[in-house]
Amino acid sequence: MEPKREFFPRLKKTVMPRPYFATEKDILGQRGTAAAMDAAIYGSNWYLDKEQGLIEVYEAGAAISFFNLLPRKNKYEKEGLYLRLKIAYRTTENANVNIRTFSGNHVTLANSLTGDMYDDPQTYWWVTDDLTLNINSIFSGEKLWLQRVDWEWMSKEIIYEDEVFGKNTILYRSLEDIQKLYQEKEITDDDVKDFLRDKINSDDWFAKKCLVMLREEQLMGEKLVKLFEDSGLELS
């Protein structure tokens, strides 16, 4: 059945906030601190205590974005560095706060009346694009206070825990080696040949295509009917 359409001469317009496009900031330094009170806070069930520099959370729902307070996660990707992030917080006795961390994992923070640091080791593998903490759950009547996020650029070179006392835990680098990583390299004929060799070694389909090209002249010498018969095709 064809629906009957009516005419509405007067309609309400939709009112919404004007879009805000934040300007990305280039956060410099090897390590630093981002104050929670400077973060962008979305959702409900939170209170900003400016005197103490804390965000007080008393129920689930808040999303706390540090997007403009922390460095871009892939800034030093070429150098094999990653952004290690630690959250300074305090809770009431039985808060059992569950959050989505900067690594995208869901973690229940240890309760701490005097304050604690959550060091997120999973940022070694992944850091979320939005750099946002989400408060998933908190026990009724309990509270969480967020103070700051400490950040540091660290090397992805691994030392296992049982090797700490036998190896140097500091990676020393030269400026010259790092500068070479960002220099535009002139592509030579040998570079292209090496690329093709690697491609043939790693990609069987590409290797077959190369063989087909090599056989092209040989096949062009065959008669048309024989080529058709060898192809396995049938006349429709």
pLDDT tens string 97-149: 999 999 999 999 999 999 999 999 999 999 999 999 999 999 999 999 999 99
Q: Which domain holds residue 160?
A: 31-177
The residue type found at 4 is: K
Q: Is residue 5 part of a domain?
A: no
- The answer on 218 and 149 residing in a single domain is no
- The answer on 140 and 71 residing in a single domain is yes
The SS3 call for residue 1 is coil
Angle between helices 189-202 and 204-214 (to 10 degrees): 110
- The conformational region for residue 176 under phi > 0 = left, psi -120 to 50 = alpha, else beta, is alpha
Q: Provide the mean pLDDT of the chain.
A: 91
- The answer on 110 and 216 residing in a single domain is no
CATH classification at residue 65: 2.60.120.260
Helices and strands, counts by H and E, the chain: 5, 11
pLDDT tens string 10-64: 999 999 888 877 677 899 999 999 999 999 999 999 999 999 999 999 999 999 9
- The answer on 196 and 112 residing in a single domain is no
Please choose, from the candidates 57, 52, 23, the residue with its C-alpha nearest in 3D space to the C-alpha of residue 37: 52
Q: Is residue 109 part of a domain?
A: yes
pLDDT tens string 163-213: 888 888 899 999 999 999 898 888 889 889 999 999 999 999 999 888 888
- CB atoms under 10 Å from CB of 94, counted, come to 11
Q: Is residue 83 part of a domain?
A: yes
Question: Which of the listed residues 134, 155, 177 is the one where a domain comes to its end?
Answer: 177
